[in-house]
Structure 1
């Protein structure tokens, strides 16, 4: 009787271990990614089939608030996220202590200046208000449009991607930058006609029915240092599943998909 119980116990343990192993294996084959709706979520949707061929189940959690994806990743509610560039990630890590790292760059959603009143950035009159998001990591990005046109100068030695409004040393037209709202509200500000111009990312513009390459009076070019990245928890960027995912996201097929679907409104990353 004791032998029978021992044998049964071993069988139960074996089944339990096997089930546990299968469960862990299934978990390892699933990748949950938090992403902005478009183009981020749509790009990941396109990646699903190729990832399935590689044996991975790609699940997309769409989030329209840029303060949320890093929180979800830090808490372990998702495995990765796709919505931010490196300067923003660095600012988030500094502010919140997140242990998050870049796996690789995917594409750039070019930022643009939008105006219902002016066709050229140089036509914006003195003392005008420019609406921008309340994202401090992008202040240099906002300023770059005006620096490039010679309307604003920043301190010597400060890289444009690191620049802050406090680094302005010359503002020829005394422009005012209103940064009191989140990026998701800027399309509404633009449509209402507030201020002389609104600066926003192409993904927020597209989500609100705008075509950046047509509606923006000026846009970033391919030299922009603000490519959006696939990010994961520190220590995991070399995990096989994330390396497989970044290969798909940087593939020729994905480049073709992005160019065909978005034209100049989204710029696929090209490794140098």
Structure 2
């Protein structure tokens, strides 16, 4: 049974408001690196929290790692808390998101290990074929910059829309050059997307929120990202300067172990994919 701390948006909203003031002035302040203390890792509940729970309950003691997990319900606060030293590491984000967060928020967070790939998918209560979306369909997408770009690129790969050739990871609806079905895009908080399925024709949902809502990316999506050359692998991140923290290195070893790979394969059955550390 979990005995982790769950951090909600309401509880940490005040902390998020301080990021703009603290990020620029805290670049020389490292998160704690006391190898005798617990390693505090922030994560979204699924799959990151479940993967870390498995490590804590089955592998950490033998490795001499005291692991404390704090769960978050959004994508901003885990990085805010990491930058401010409330966490030693976090697990939930991909490199494009991390790099954009550093650029826009003035943080200095770095990835230390690839963990797994949670493919983004399109879900619908109204059609089983993405090509059958009606003219004027409403499609909900994440309102967060890089995840919105990721969602639009997925739709473009299916042929539903076309994007400007130079549209990068921060692509937005303004970058759409062709929209033959006149799709209307509804931008929502990523966590709200599963609940929007009753109100829209389709929604593009990150795997962690899909899984948390009882959806199977492999079985329930009408369109799923390809794993080939996919840049959206989730990574373990730390504040720059703490890459060689002994506790972090221990967690990296466990996170990339055969035991964790097997756990991911057996639990998620293709809805989350382990990453070869090589």
| 1:79-118 equivalent positions in 2, closer than 5 A | 79-118=88-127
Using a 3 Å threshold, how does the CA distance of structure 1 residues 27 and 236 change in structure 2: closer, same or farther? closer
| Pairing 1:245–2:251 present | yes
Which residue in the other structure is 2:215 paired with? 210
Query: Per the alignment, in what secondary structure is the counterpart of residue 122 of structure 2?
Result: strand
Which residue in the other structure is 1:268 paired with? 274
Take 1:122 and 1:189, find their aligned partners in 2: how far apart are those partners? 20
Which residue in the other structure is 2:158 paired with? 149
Q: Conserved in 1, the CA contact under 8 Å of 2:33 and 2:245?
A: no
Which residue in the other structure is 2:142 paired with? 133
Query: Per the alignment, in what secondary structure is the counterpart of residue 200 of structure 2?
Result: coil
Query: Per the alignment, in what secondary structure is the counterpart of residue 230 of structure 1?
Result: strand
How far does the alpha carbon of each residue in 1:87-139 deviate from its partner, in whole angstroms, 9 at most, with x for none? 11112112211111111110111111011111111111222111012111122
Which residue in the other structure is 2:206 paired with? 201
Which residue in the other structure is 1:120 paired with? 129
Take 1:34 and 1:55, find their aligned partners in 2: how far apart are those partners? 20
For structure 2, the residue ranges without an aligned partner over 5 or more in a row are 1-31
Take 1:266 and 1:149, find their aligned partners in 2: how far apart are those partners? 21
Which residue in the other structure is 2:175 paired with? 167
Q: Conserved in 2, the CA contact under 8 Å of 1:128 and 1:174?
A: yes
Which residue in the other structure is 1:39 paired with? 47
| 1:51-90 equivalent positions in 2, closer than 5 A | 51-90=60-99
Take 1:34 and 1:208, find their aligned partners in 2: how far apart are those partners? 20
| Pairing 1:226–2:232 present | yes
Report the Cα offset of residue 27 of structure 1.
Answer: 5.1
Report the Cα offset of residue 74 of structure 1.
Answer: 0.9
Using a 3 Å threshold, how does the CA distance of structure 1 residues 26 and 154 change in structure 2: closer, same or farther? closer
More helix by share: 1
Report the Cα offset of residue 44 of structure 1.
Answer: 0.6
- Tell me the number of residue pairs that the alignment of Structure 1 and Structure 2 aligns: 245
TM-score normalized with structure 1 length: 0.84
Report the Cα offset of residue 26 of structure 1.
Answer: 6.5
Take 1:25 and 1:195, find their aligned partners in 2: how far apart are those partners? 47
Report the Cα offset of residue 196 of structure 1.
Answer: 1.1
TM-score normalized with structure 2 length: 0.83
Q: CA RMSD in A?
A: 1.8
For structure 1, the residue ranges without an aligned partner over 5 or more in a row are 1-23
How far does the alpha carbon of each residue in 1:146-189 deviate from its partner, in whole angstroms, 9 at most, with x for none? 21222222222445x4533322222222212211x211111111
Task: Compare CA radii of gyration and give the structure with the larger one.
Answer: 1
Take 2:277 and 2:170, find their aligned partners in 1: how far apart are those partners? 22
Report the Cα offset of residue 29 of structure 1.
Answer: 4.2
